[in-house]
Amino acid sequence: MKEGALLKLLKNPSSKSEGFKLLVDLYQEKLYWMIRKMVLSHDTANDVLQETYIRIFKGIDNFKGNSAISTWMYRIAYNECLRFLSKESKLLRVELDISDSDYSKKLYADSYFDPNELSTKFHTILSELTVNQRNIFNMKYFDELKFKEISDITGININTIKSTYYLVEKKIKKEINE
């Protein structure tokens, strides 16, 4: 279904429910994986996903269409993750330019984490990156988002995103092949 038609469904009160079901069917998995890689635990990711969809449902009437609806939804999910992480760390804002010192602790505490040789290597490298670097790499490499979309979601300049991604990609390739 094209985005225009989907928006029409969502903006019409009589078909809003139908449109919302489509939004869940189309984006639930994608949003979940983006959230999961940010918060690491499955249970937390589930809570954040539910909260994200509540915000989407409430906010859809105010969606102006200035970006693709998927970008708008990813941005809500991204902000919801940051809100959760700041609450978890008891800080007003998440420090995005430093690495998360609790990364491995959170990952290994999750019962839905099943490490293997490759994933252990991957996570070791990811844990050393700053939160911003990790998010940018994950969104491009795993979620297959475009640089422009990542820029719209995170509010970071597109050139910074490109240079960050290529730098991290090079580092990961080198360390995984060692």
Interaction between residue 120 and other proteins (CB under 8 A): yes
Interaction between residue 32 and other proteins (CB under 8 A): yes
CB of 155 to other proteins, least distance (A): 25
Interaction between residue 63 and other proteins (CB under 8 A): no
Task: Using CB under 8 A, pick the residue from 21, 93, 105, 146 that binds other proteins.
Answer: 21
Q: Which single residue is written with the structure tokens 């505490």?
A: 109
Is residue 70 a contact partner of residue 23, using CB atoms and an 8 Å limit?
no
DSSP designation for 61? G
> Rounded to an integer, what distance in angstroms lies between the CA atom of residue 60 and that of residue 69?
9
Distances in whole angstroms, Cα of residue 97 to Cα of each of 65, 78, 85, 116, 165: 31, 16, 14, 28, 15
Shorter beta-carbon distance to other proteins: residue 108 or 166: 108
> Rounded to an integer, what distance in angstroms lies between the CA atom of residue 60 and that of residue 77?
14
Interaction between residue 49 and other proteins (CB under 8 A): yes
Interaction between residue 178 and other proteins (CB under 8 A): no
Task: Using CB under 8 A, pick the residue from 35, 37, 132, 133 that binds other proteins.
Answer: 37
Shorter beta-carbon distance to other proteins: residue 28 or 157: 28
Interaction between residue 140 and other proteins (CB under 8 A): no
Q: Exposed e or buried b for every residue in 132-159, given b needs 16+ CB within 10 A?
A: bbbbbbbbbeebebeeebbbbbbebeee
Interaction between residue 114 and other proteins (CB under 8 A): yes
> Rounded to an integer, what distance in angstroms lies between the CA atom of residue 69 and that of residue 8?
12
Interaction between residue 92 and other proteins (CB under 8 A): no
Q: What residue ranges bind other proteins (CB under 8 A)?
A: 17, 20-21, 24-25, 28-29, 32-33, 36-37, 42, 46, 49-50, 53-54, 57, 112-116, 118-120, 122-123, 142
